[in-house]
Structure 1
């Protein structure tokens, strides 16, 4: 499933807040974006039909509240899967990491973060091996 730019902005806000949000909270939380009331309604309905949102509550005071049904990590994985069909997870991993690392603008801090992620994964794999 592919999200439009506006849908992704809303999902980013929901992931960041990590709680259900009302339409007015979504309008306030998407800084720098002016929404037309009818367009936000259409966008939220589109997201509901795609299965990335659910309505968690409906009150007279706040109206509906919306909650993300997919994590940011799962969305990223789905984008990679859709963008690299037929490739193994290993091929996807190496392809994406290589492309991002070789892109201009990677910083020493980013490399350190990647190294830390890999170190932690290596430790987790060793623990799993020892448990067998």
Structure 2
């Protein structure tokens, strides 16, 4: 499977966040309606959607009839966790590819975030699974 890699503008990120939040394919009009604090013009949203399509961040899921015309519906090509992992891998690991840097990063995350028992249990489970696969 080909690894996705792309950078998003703030507006593109807002569109993706809307698609993740709604958790279904949306039309252009729905994206405008559901994206908070934005009032995009039709031409602006068209450009943004085409940029996201070109980057592979979204895909056309299908078509819906709106009056006499048909409009495309869009969905994110990867979920929020996959996107966050892609950003981490492309940005952080590019700057600090060593295992020591990765350890330091996790130390930092643990120190600034209060981690509950359930999360600790999940992390331990993931680490055990990773050990089995190595």
Please give the TM-score of this superposition, normalised by the length of structure 1.
0.76
- Paired with 1:129 and 1:11, the residues of 2 have a C-alpha distance of 33
Q: How many residues get paired?
A: 122
Structure 1 runs not aligned, ≥5 long: 103-109
- Paired with 1:49 and 1:34, the residues of 2 have a C-alpha distance of 23
Q: CA RMSD in A?
A: 2.7
Q: Which whole-Å deviations, capped at 9, do the CAs of 1:32-52 have from their partners, x for residues lacking one? A: 111121010000000000001
Matches within 5 A, 1:65-104: 65-84=73-92, 85=94, 87-88=97-98, 91-92=101-102, 94-95=104-105, 98=108, 101-102=111-112
Q: Which runs of 4+ in 1 moved over 2 A?
A: 88-94, 99-102, 123-130
User: What corresponds to 1:111 in structure 2?
Assistant: 114
Structure 2 runs not aligned, ≥5 long: 1-5
Q: 1:40 aligns with which of 34, 45, 64?
A: 45
- For residue 59 of structure 1, report the CA deviation from its aligned partner: 2.7
Range moving further from structure 2, 41-50 or 88-97: 88-97
Check 1:6–1:87 CA distance in 2 against 1; reply closer, same or farther (3 A cut).
Answer: same
